[in-house]
């Protein structure tokens, strides 16, 4: 369910990186930041981890972050919220707002 702007009480920082490559232990390593912004958002843990929708086998999402729509946001975006850094697993876009299904970075 999408939230109204009045419920967006978290400040989150969104950052895109130039390069994402496989690390020694299987995690992603980020290159230089190419875009960053701080926005108001609604952020909540998901009660059950859910599979993201795109492409079949994908990581489990454990947190939902809802923001007003930004064209720069995608699966290369990292989200800093409540002291955690999250990877965006899937973006659900209704044309006005986006639900970012995220998981914590290892």
Whole-number Å distance between alpha carbons of 25 and 8? 36
Q: pLDDT tens across 46-78, in order?
A: 876 665 555 555 568 889 999 999 999 998 899
- Tell me the pTM: 0.76
Q: Give the pLDDT confidence score for residue 49 in this predicted structure.
A: 62
Assign 7 a pLDDT band (cuts: 50, 70, 90): confident
> What is the share, in percent, of the chain residues with pLDDT greater than 90?
51
Model confidence at 1, pLDDT cuts 50, 70, 90, reads very low
DSSP 11-62: EEEEEEES-EEE-TTS-EEE--EEEEEEEEEEEEEEEEEEE-STTSS-PEEE
> What CATH number was assigned to the domain covering residues 5-104?
2.40.10.270
Per-residue model confidence (pLDDT) at position 20: 55
From the list 13, 19, 5, 36, the residue with the least C-alpha distance to 102 is 13
What's the CA gap between 106 and 95, in Å, rounded? 31
């Amino acid at each position: 369910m999408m939230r109204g702007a009045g419920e967006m009480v978290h400040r989150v920082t969104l950052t895109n990186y130039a390069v994402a490559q496989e690390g020694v232990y299987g995690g992603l390593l980020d290159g230089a930041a190419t875009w960053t912004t701080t926005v108001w958002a609604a952020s909540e843990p998901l009660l059950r981890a859910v599979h993201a929708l795109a492409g079949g086998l994908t990581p489990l999402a454990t947190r939902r972050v809802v923001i007003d729509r930004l064209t720069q946001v995608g699966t290369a975006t990292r989200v800093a919220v409540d002291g955690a850094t999250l990877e965006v697993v899937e973006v659900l876009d209704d044309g006005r707002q986006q639900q970012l299904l995220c998981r914590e970075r290892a």
